[in-house]
Chain A
Amino acid sequence: MIRLTHIYQLLGKNFVRQRLLSKASSPVMQHFLSKAFPDKKKFIDEVVIVSLDIETTGLDPDKDKIVSIGLVEIRHLGIKLQSCWHQIIQTKKNIPEQSIVIHQITDDQIKTGISIEQAMPLLLEHLKGKVMLVHNAKLELGFINKICQVLYASDFVIPVIDTQALARRSLDRRNSAYNTSDLRLFNLRCARHMPAYKAHNALMDAIATAELFLAMLNDIVPRCEMDKGKARLADFLS
């Protein structure tokens, strides 16, 4: 079955954005959708990219919750730490033991957080009119989309660069055999001798993803090395 959104996707994110805007009733969503996403033909160094990572209680958007969000902006191919944003989300549901170990967030810390209802407008403000960079975007998109549906009765849309998809694409092109674990953020960074960050939180992961993207930029467009300006946003979008 061909769904309408698939056709929309062929027509571009800005087309989808306008369709959703015309139907949106929530002011938060209207505000988010009101600003155009960057043109796909823009040079990559002229585009503001938001590297994002969310930590969740599990993998299922229907059952699990977001526990924290971290993001940082890339402008002119520099990661601007001034733009860092990290937000802990308070959930009513207790975090499973396993997730505590992974995300190093305890229930106590969660109490310092804000509700997802309060956090979403802030997140959308950060993403408005920009490109989202995520490692393995499926999870983030699934959760954000689900929350938008529940809170604002609207689908979520944004141009996405996925470092995992870029890595897969580059490995496929070289016909190299690889394991799925090779595509994990940590392992991709290791392979490039990038520093191993000990901390595993949403913000450090967003920064780590942004760094990986800068490193991969050169793989994707090796010919443009001395003049990255020649690479265009479209070359990287999922």
Chain B
Amino acid sequence: MEIELLEIRNFIKRCSPFDVLDDFVLDTLPEKLTIRYFRRGHTFPEINTQEKSLYIIRSGAIEFRDQAGLLNDKLAEGDIFSQQCIVDSSESGIAVEDTLVYLLPCELLAQLRKNADVFNRHFNRSINERLRDAVKHTHAENMRDLSAMKLEVSGLTDRLPVIVDQATSIQQAAKIMTKEQVSAILVTFDNQLCGILTDRDIRSRCVAEAIALEQPVSLIMSTDLKTVKDTTLLSEALLAMTRKQVQHLPVLKNNAPVGILTTADVVRHLSTSPALIATDIGKAISLQALERISTRLPELQLQLSLSSATAKHIGEVIASITDAITCRLLELAEARYGAPPVKYVWAAGGSQARNEQTSHSDQDNALIISDEFKPEHAAYFKSLTQFVSDGLNACGYVYCPGNAMATNPQWCQPLSVWQQTFGRWINSPEPKALMLSSIFFDLRAVYGDFSLLDKLQHSVLKRTKDSQLFISLMVANALTHQPPLGFFRNFVLVQDATHKNTLNLKQRGIIPIVDIARVLALKTGISAISTVDRLNAAFESEALSAEMRDNLLDALEFIGSLRIRHQAEQIRTGVGVDNYVSPGELSGLEKSHLKDSFAIIKTMQQFFESRYSSA
């Protein structure tokens, strides 16, 4: 390459997926390019191109519309158009700005694909292959990105180390350790760190061996010192402890000891583990105690995403913690207001019910009471639900803005009234009421007599299966949240060509899939609640092809993992957690995987529209 073409090379290097190519490969590219210019209003690409090429947009913008004139896609600087090389398509668009492009011959692209695996994957023919691959790779990347940031051992040790000279007697050292309440001290010689003395050393090398207490500590200390730096990552330190089978690691900063990392420190840190939190919740004796525990939830979510858990797994863990808090609140409520006069079940709604919760979302819940309910019991359940709802709010699950909570008398009813309510929704559905109530088609028993909800769900599913009007309205409802088309410059590209600065991952990506899965469940009488289970069950009952299921699952997991990563970053930096991602946060590859995910959702929505809503 002429060194003068460096600028062109550097531009290409910024364009995904060329960014994954090796530098020496990139160096060979500029001189293989042809530059072309498309004036505003001109068809893109050339109608009668002699040689098929991949187009890299250098400046300007190209719009693609379908036959009906609806916007399909929009490309800007840095975007690539590879249609001519991938599929035998004559897809064409219009330059909406004067546009400069670099053309790379398809034969050269084929060669590049053969030699670079990661690069090649981007051009896989099918969206699902590309996305499956992305899901596989996302978790490893999440871990690398985030764990490198924060979890250094310096933040884990909470006191300066206790240091003695090597000539100190064993007894004196033991006295110091007792007084300082430490299980290990560091030993120096000429102010240089030379060993470590632990409780265990005193037990096994002194007492067991009958060494005199007047002897110097140097006789029984461990000299095979394994140390870590203050910047060492927790995971590395943990590995060092495991390999060396030691429970104490001196922490050095600029070669001076600044602390001792103990297994206790590590355990304390890892106490954000869900099992420990759940145990603590079960033991909590007051609302205040529950509140305190619930503040650990964001940290738990962060830990889970650092350990590269899937979005699905994180959703399940968070929901299980919310379940535990809910149960404990109900136990506390029953302790305060007495045993319930009749049986009831507390049912969670929304993301908690679907086991797809992230830390501190709104509370959605309902109470289903046994039909033995008598009007005089109302006061009890009012107090009970108020206590639990207030408690949840105090624990960070803020009141549902739509008032879909058990404290709302409408959502706190005997089983037979619930059956009537659902019957009304199903037999004579009103679009608006349906939209509000769709949350109650995701209900999961959390506490109490689970059979009450089973009965309700059973009767509901029996009716929804055959109600054409209901299903078609639910489909229409499911189509209200349309995914965007993709990205244009640093904006989110949506159908009506208005550009948005941020993308609501939940509303535009996750909810549409959740809605589709719900309709499938109601249509085919599936009792599963979680979106993944519903999609799997829909496949088993042949309402969904294997390909459709896999595509939706991959899209759900990919968008979910981006959302988890986005929130992890917010938790880490201490800002409020939300679902709004700005395109600038995303890499070129992530944008293109998101675009694939959106395309999958859109295809499914169109499929549903043509299949069900016309009925």
Mark each residue of chain A from 50 to 80: 1 if its CB lies under 8 Å from any CB of chain B, else 0: 0000000000000000000010000011111
Contact partner, A199, options B4, B36, B60, Cβ 8 Å: B4
Using A81-B5, A218-B39, A225-B39 as known contacts, say yes or no to A192 and B98 having CB atoms under 8 A apart.
yes
- Which residues 61-111 of A sit at the B interface, judged by CB distance below 8 A? 70, 76-82, 84, 86
- Which residues 1-23 of B sit at the A interface, judged by CB distance below 8 A? 2, 4-8
Using A78-B36, A225-B42 as known contacts, say yes or no to A86 and B97 having CB atoms under 8 A apart.
no
- Which residues 16-41 of A sit at the B interface, judged by CB distance below 8 A? none
Mark each residue of chain B from 91 to 124: 1 if its CB lies under 8 Å from any CB of chain A, else 0: 0000001101001000000000000000000000
Indicate if A215 sits at the interface (CB-CB under 8 A): yes
Mark each residue of chain A from 190 to 217: 1 if its CB lies under 8 Å from any CB of chain B, else 0: 0011110111011110010011001101
A80 to B35, CA, bound (A): 7
A143 to B205, CA, bound (A): 92
User: Is there contact, CB below 8 Å, between A194 and B59?
Assistant: yes
Indicate if B199 sits at the interface (CB-CB under 8 A): no
Q: Which residues of A contact B33 (CB under 8 A)?
A: 81
- Size category, B interface: 20 to 34
User: Is there contact, CB below 8 Å, between B36 and A193?
Assistant: no
CB distance from B415 to the nearest CB of A (A): 67
Contact partner, B36, options A77, A86, A194, Cβ 8 Å: A77
Indicate if B37 sits at the interface (CB-CB under 8 A): yes
Indicate if B336 sits at the interface (CB-CB under 8 A): no
CB distance from A76 to the nearest CB of B (A): 8
Q: Which residues of A contact B97 (CB under 8 A)?
A: 193
Indicate if B341 sits at the interface (CB-CB under 8 A): no
A192 to B33, CA, bound (A): 22
User: Is there contact, CB below 8 Å, between B41 and A225?
Assistant: yes
User: Is there contact, CB below 8 Å, between A195 and B42?
Assistant: no
User: Is there contact, CB below 8 Å, between B59 and A193?
Assistant: yes
- Size category, A interface: 20 to 34
User: Is there contact, CB below 8 Å, between A195 and B35?
Assistant: no
Q: Which residues of A contact B372 (CB under 8 A)?
A: none
Contact partner, B35, options A79, A203, A204, A226, Cβ 8 Å: A79
Indicate if B136 sits at the interface (CB-CB under 8 A): no
Contact partner, A79, options B4, B34, B50, Cβ 8 Å: B34
A144 to B39, CA, bound (A): 34
Q: Which residues of A contact B100 (CB under 8 A)?
A: 194-195, 211, 215
Query: How many A-B contacts at CB < 8 Å in the complex?
Result: 72
Using A82-B32, A195-B58, A214-B36 as known contacts, say yes or no to A203 and B5 having CB atoms under 8 A apart.
yes
Q: Write the chain A residue with the least CB distance to B30.
A: A81
CB distance from A91 to the nearest CB of B (A): 19
Q: Write the chain A residue with the least CB distance to B58.
A: A195
- Which residues 289-321 of B sit at the A interface, judged by CB distance below 8 A? none
A81, A82, A86, A225: residue with the most chain B Cβ atoms closer than 10 Å: A81
Indicate if B454 sits at the interface (CB-CB under 8 A): no
Contact partner, A203, options B2, B37, B39, B58, Cβ 8 Å: B2
Q: Which residues of B contact A217 (CB under 8 A)?
A: 37
A131 to B126, CA, bound (A): 46
A193 to B7, CA, bound (A): 17
CB distance from B230 to the nearest CB of A (A): 41
Indicate if B31 sits at the interface (CB-CB under 8 A): yes
CB distance from A49 to the nearest CB of B (A): 13
A77 to B8, CA, bound (A): 19
Q: Which residues of B contact A202 (CB under 8 A)?
A: 4
Contact partner, B7, options A82, A204, A226, Cβ 8 Å: A204
Using A84-B5, A198-B7, A199-B7 as known contacts, say yes or no to A78 and B35 having CB atoms under 8 A apart.
yes
- Which residues 40-70 of B sit at the A interface, judged by CB distance below 8 A? 41-42, 50, 58-60
User: Is there contact, CB below 8 Å, between B39 and A84?
Assistant: no
- Which residues 420-461 of B sit at the A interface, judged by CB distance below 8 A? none
User: 16 A-B contacts, Cβ less than 8 Å apart?
Assistant: A70-B4, A77-B36, A78-B36, A80-B34, A81-B8, A81-B34, A84-B5, A84-B31, A86-B2, A192-B98, A193-B60, A193-B97, A195-B58, A203-B2, A204-B7, A217-B37
Question: Which 10 residue pairs are nearest across A and B when measured between Cβ atoms?
Answer: A214-B37, A79-B35, A203-B4, A78-B34, A218-B39, A81-B33, A201-B4, A195-B59, A199-B7, A86-B2
Given A78-B36, A203-B4, A225-B42, 7 other A-B contacts at CB below 8 A?
A78-B34, A78-B35, A81-B31, A84-B2, A214-B37, A215-B37, A225-B39
**Partner-A contacts on B (CB < 8 A):** 2, 4-8, 30-37, 39, 41-42, 50, 58-60, 77, 97-98, 100, 103
